[in-house]
Amino acid sequence: MCKKLEDEYDSISKHVVIKNEKRRFGEIDVMAKKGDKIDLYEVKCSHRIVKAKHQIKRLRKYIRFSAGYFYCGTSGILMQI
């Protein structure tokens, strides 16, 4: 999936841990940046969009981002959540 995104963004980071000194808030599978815009991608093997929505919603409290996406590895479907 990262290969598909390389042309659209300035930088792409995988397995980004969101934390402060005391606590870990979560991990995002792919964080893509272009200028000031940050997009988060949650990747699942099966079509478990509910879990992906929950993870991205929880991270909204701790990081400012433009959009959240879900990618299903089995079907190859990418959708915005």
Domain of residue 70, residue span: 2-80
**From the CB of residue 62, how many other CB atoms can be counted at a distance below 10 Å?**
12
pLDDT of 37 reads 94
Amino acid at position 78, single letter: L
Q: What is the mean pLDDT of each run of 10 residues along the chain (81 residues)?
A: 88 91 89 94 87 88 90 88 88
pLDDT of 8 reads 92
Q: Of all residues in the chain, what percent carry a pLDDT higher than 70?
A: 100
Domain at 65, CATH number: 3.40.1350.10
pLDDT of 36 reads 92
Query: Could you give the number of structural domains in the chain?
Result: 1
